[in-house]
Amino acid sequence: MADRRPFDPQNPCDALADLARVQIAYYGSEVMSAPQYVRMAADPNGQFEALLIGLLTGVAGIAMSNIRPEAHAEVRSALLALIPDAVDNARDIFELPPLEPIQ
């Protein structure tokens, strides 16, 4: 994300993206405190995969909820395209540098 611009809370896109991030983070912490998550602590790979598929399914469902089914492939393409930026945004919050581009 070399062309990254500063966050602008007055920008409607930034404001909505931040609201979504905060809400997902809140509910993510709730999920990670839930008994279903805790019970899987002995299987960290399974726990990680279950958490990710649940989060991604929820995100995909939200994104598809108000568009016509013919556009669902565009949602999938957008998710795939945006994942590297989302990971780098999260790393930035953790004060870590962006990852190398996917080859």
Q: Kindly report whether the global pTM for this prediction surpasses the value 0.85.
A: no
- Residue 72's nearest CA partner among 61, 62, 82, 64 is 64
Whether 6 maps to a domain, the answer reads no
Write down the pLDDT at residue 1.
45
Whether 5 maps to a domain, the answer reads no
- Distance, first Cα to last Cα, the chain: 15
- Domains: count for the chain: 1
Write down the pLDDT at residue 103.
79
Structural domain that includes position 20: 12-93
DSSP 8-state class, residue 97 = P
Whether 100 maps to a domain, the answer reads no
Write down the pLDDT at residue 3.
63
State how far the Cα of 57 lies from the Cα of 53, in Å rounded to an integer: 6
Query: Mean pLDDT for each consecutive 10-residue tract of the chain (103 residues)?
Result: 75 94 94 97 97 96 96 96 94 95 83
